[in-house]
Amino acid sequence: MSDLSDLYQEVILDHNKRPRNFHELAGASHHALGHNPLCGDRMTVYLRMDGDTLADVSFVGSGCAISKASASMMTEGVKGRSRPQAERLFSLFHDLVTGAPGAEEHLDELGKLRIFAGVREFPVRVKCASLAWHTLRAAMQHQGKVSTE
């Protein structure tokens, strides 16, 4: 587990310092605002849907390193995927960070997102890590806003 913890630190720091897809999205077809009052994380996730495909995904906002890194990695993880694939990743990711039984069986599918397994040891951070995903889902469902409370 300590190897994974080191990787976790490294990846979070990297994505926090240089978040990927960190900009407003011109021509976005969907967007939503996410807020985690517990920590103060706020972000807007933008989507450009092409049929059922998440053709482009981006985000802007401010928050803690975990929320930002998670949003950054989420955009990389779902870009180019279909909506059902994105929903499935969210579900696997949520199981992973909350430590749901069986979550470890899907690490391959989660790819790089697996490093967030470390979050389960810090329950207050689970909402930080999952905020981007809740916001993505709200955007896909055309809900303008989501709060983790």
CB contact set of 45 (below 8 Å; sequence gap of 6+)? 31, 32, 34, 57, 58, 59, 71, 132, 135, 136, 138, 139
For 96, the token pair is 């992973």
In the complex, minimum distance from the CB of residue 16 to Zn ion, in angstroms, rounded to a whole number: 11
Q: Containing H/E element for 38?
A: none
Cα–Cα distance for residue pair 85/91, rounded to 1 Å? 10
User: Angle at Cα 16 formed by Cα 11 and Cα 18, nearest 5°?
Assistant: 95
Nearer CB in complex with Zn ion: 50/121: 121
> 118-137 mask for Zn ion (x: CB under 5 A)?
----------x---------
In the complex, minimum distance from the CB of residue 38 to Zn ion, in angstroms, rounded to a whole number: 7
> 24-63 mask for Zn ion (x: CB under 5 A)?
---------------x-x----------------------
Contact status: 19 vs Zn ion (CB under 5 A): no
> 61-90 mask for Zn ion (x: CB under 5 A)?
---x--x-----------------------
Write the single-letter amino acid at 4.
L
Please report, as ranges, the residues that interact with Zn ion according to CB under 5 A.
Answer: 39, 41, 64, 67, 128
